[in-house]
Amino acid sequence: MTDTAETTDKAVIIVHSGDLDKIYSALIVGNGALAMGMDVSMYFTFWGLQRLKKGGLEKGPLSKMHMLGLGKWMINKRMKAANVASLEKLMNDYKELGGKILACEMTMEIMGVKAEELRTEWIDEYGAVGTYVNEARDAKITLFI
């Protein structure tokens, strides 16, 4: 960083994992930062990008205690009882609050994902590592989830 460069009130999150609990974490942190007046960008890559597929947001397994789907069922039941918003609601809130979504083009190529398979209404930009670096270079907070 040069003497003239200044960090902005911005958070940038790499969403690498497609696990249900980690997608929840990314969206909760992103929404929280937006609610506190920060700019937020999420860079979806590898298994995280799979959650941007049509019908794919809620499809991920749990990172721990998946137990052939039983763990995910139990967590979803407890979250519903605790009135935790669905991932769909969290994503819609994130977009309404001005959150930015970046989709990794390299991952799309490697994993054979076509743009028409994705929820394009959520995606603000397609790009590679340079796109992420440009977003993150002046951010106060960078996370890898």
Structure tokens at 57: 């947001």
Q: Which strands make up the sheet holding 39-44, listed edge to edge?
A: 125-127, 100-104, 39-44, 8-15, 139-144
Residues 6 or more apart in contact with residue 6 via CB below 8 angstroms = 138
- Predicted confidence at residue 82, as pLDDT, reads 84
Domains in the chain, start-ordered, CATH in brackets?
Answer: 10-139 (3.40.1260.10)
Give yes or no for residue 127 having a pLDDT over 60. Answer: yes
Structure tokens at 5: 């460069």
> Rounded mean pLDDT of 15-41?
97
Which of 133 and 72 is assigned the larger pLDDT? 133
Tokens 């007046």 found at? 37
In contact, 100 and 131? CB cutoff 8 Å? no
In contact, 54 and 16? CB cutoff 8 Å? no
Question: Which of the 8 DSSP states describes residue 52?
Answer: T
Give yes or no for residue 3 having a pLDDT over 70. Answer: no
pTM: 0.88
Q: What is the pairing mode between strands 39-44 and 100-104?
A: parallel
